[in-house]
Amino acid sequence: MSEGFKAQWPMDLGAPEGSLEAKQPRPANIGKDVVDPARYYSREFMNAEWEYLWPKVWLLAGVTSDIRDAGDFTVFTHGHEQFLITRTHDGDIRAFYNVCPHRGNRVCLTDHGSVRQFSCPFHGWTFNLDGTLAGITDEHTYDPDLIRHRPGLGEVRCDTAGGLIFINMDGEAPPLKDWIGLPPGYIENYEIEHMNVVRHVRSEWLANWKTGVDAFYETYHLPHIHPQTQGVMEDYSQVDLYPNGFSRMIVPIGVKSHRVGDQDNLDPYQVAFLAEAGVDPDSFKGTPRDVRPAIQKAKRERGKQFGLDYYDRLTDGQLTDSWATGYFPNVQIGMHPEGVFIMRFTPHATDPERFYYDNITMFRYVDDPGFTVPAWMGLPEGTDVSGEIRPEVEHVPAGVNPELGEVLDQDVELVAAVQEGVKSRGFNGPLWCEQEDRLRHFHRELDRYLSGGA
Ligand code: FES
Ligand SMILES: [Fe+2]
């Protein structure tokens, strides 16, 4: 057995050209610009984003499995805006500003649930699942001209792709399918629509939302901030840039980082990963380099055993590695066959130095005691993964530990320190290397929007 790739830069896992795993050519015009660090803290920059970016892009608002049945709804908050996403009786998914046309109150005050109708808590106006007005309290006390247009909830564009729900506040933006820069099948192959949210934590961080995105867009920092990952993860990831600011990094998992001196003995994390995939570590005779292919083989067999047909569309690499995929501008999804980790970085309504980090864990439930949730998914003891109950969103204020595990603890601390540093008179702007190409690509697309070019 062989590991199938060599950890060298530029990192290329060697997948055939034209496949979804293939290394994309590095754009010749990627440049070496140094951006003005004011983008990480200035109010002018924040205001420009509110004018030219947020209303123009498709924003990840939720997942389809959260609103499976008619009457189900979910609320998505983005800065001062809030959206109500509903499943109508026709089976359609619709999205509205969560704003009452009467006096502007929030119509819905819970994160998600199921209703027959929405009723505004202020004066009791009611609205149907398709946003139309159902009733006005004491309608006889209104001038009929004022309400002749039967004011309903203001609708926004809404579309779905691969089990994900997106909204767009702009009437002019291209359709979702043209805007997503990923090749067909890329996201669909994971069948996210059959996964359920099993944990959703929304924590507030003391940094600009882009300081957050940047920190999760590269693995260059792994050996320094998260040295514990080196026993089971390569930190040279395969970086690929796609159109419209989209990008991904493939992080090889199951391997020891090339930086680790001892490449002869298994790391305890590798042993644990083997056991989890159903390989008995005691009878495993391979070297650290043989672990990744052994896990892939075992997972392939498990896929067959449990009737997971979609595994057939995933490469061996996808069975072990994390395909950390960036949806411009503010989402990254860590993709695995068992489940996905959605990270969403949403700006604070008024403070450019705060953002909300949504961490949404989704799991594909298999109704068989032999198929359990992997420990590396980091779910707290006793988490219900059956998908029968959508867990409440855990809202965690700034300064309180979101309990997302050791690696995320390290990132919380890191991101706050970076935010402090980028404001210094002594900092002249980030010097991104090739391992940070995704940051360059992301900021370039952002600048295109802010200059009105998109
Ligand atoms: S603000 Fe909604 S009914 Fe008055
Ligand atoms: Fe990190």
Instruction: Determine if ligand 1 sits within 6 Å of the CB of residue 128.
Output: no
Q: Which ligand is nearest to the CA of 105?
A: 1
Q: What is the pLDDT of residue 296?
A: 97
The minimum-distance atom of ligand 1 relative to the CA of 120 is 2
Take residue 219 and report the two structure tokens written for it. 């693995």
Residue 373 clears pLDDT 60, i.e. is over it = yes
Domains of the chain as residue ranges with CATH: 1-54+186-454 (3.90.380.10), 59-179 (2.102.10.10)
Alpha carbon of residue 227 to chain centroid: 24
Take residue 394 and report the two structure tokens written for it. 């855990």
Q: Which ligand is nearest to the CA of 147?
A: 1
Collapse the DSSP code of 282 into the 3-class scheme (helix H, G, I; strand E, B; otherwise coil) and give the result.
coil
Average pLDDT of span 188-192: 98
The HSE-up count of residue 290 (CA atoms within 13 Å, CB side) is 10
Average pLDDT, the chain: 96
Nearest CA to ligand 1 atom 1: 103
Residue 94 clears pLDDT 70, i.e. is over it = yes
Nearest CA to ligand 1 atom 4: 123
Radius of gyration of the chain (CA): 23
Which of these, 238, 276, 239, lies nearest to 254 by C-alpha position?
Answer: 276
pLDDT bucket at 106, cuts 50 / 70 / 90: very high
Which of these, 262, 316, 322, lies nearest to 288 by C-alpha position?
Answer: 262
Q: Which ligand is nearest to the CA of 411?
A: 2
φ/ψ region of 97 (left if φ > 0, alpha if ψ in -120 to 50, else beta) reads beta
Q: What is the pLDDT of residue 235?
A: 97
State the alpha helices, DSSP H only, in 287-356: 291-305, 316-320
Tens digits of residue pLDDT in 207-251: 999 999 999 999 999 999 999 999 999 999 999 999 999 999 999
The minimum-distance atom of ligand 1 relative to the CA of 125 is 3
Residue 454 clears pLDDT 60, i.e. is over it = no
205-209, 369-373, 425-429: range with lowest mean pLDDT: 369-373
CA distance 77 to 69: 22
Q: What is the pLDDT of residue 1?
A: 44
Mutate to test the pocket of ligand 1, among 99, 105, 106, 126 (most ligand atoms within 8 A of CB): 105
Q: What is the DSSP annotation of 329-392?
A: TTEEEEE-SSEEEEEEEEE-SS-TT-EEEEEEEEE---SSTT----GGG---TT---SSSSPPP
How much of the chain, in percent, has pLDDT values that exceed 70? 99
Q: Is there a cis peptide before residue 329, judged by omega within 30 degrees of 0?
A: yes
Burial (CB count within 10 angstroms: exposed 0-12, middle 13-18, buried 19+), residue 114: middle
The minimum-distance atom of ligand 1 relative to the CA of 100 is 2
Nearest CA to ligand 1 atom 3: 123
Mutate to test the pocket of ligand 1, among 84, 106, 120, 138 (most ligand atoms within 8 A of CB): 120
Number of H helices, E strands in the chain: 9, 18
Residue 411 clears pLDDT 70, i.e. is over it = yes
Instruction: Determine if ligand 1 sits within 6 Å of the CB of residue 105.
Output: yes
Could you tell me whether strands 394-396 and 196-205 are parallel, antiparallel, or unpaired per DSSP bridges? parallel
CA distance 128 to 1: 59
Report the separation in Å between the CA atom of 99 and the middle of ligand 1, taken as the mean of its atom positions.
9
pTM of the model: 0.97
Instruction: Determine if ligand 1 sits within 6 Å of the CB of residue 123.
Output: yes
The minimum-distance atom of ligand 1 relative to the CA of 103 is 1
pLDDT bucket at 171, cuts 50 / 70 / 90: confident
How much of the chain, in percent, has pLDDT values that exceed 90? 98
Q: What is the pLDDT of residue 314?
A: 97
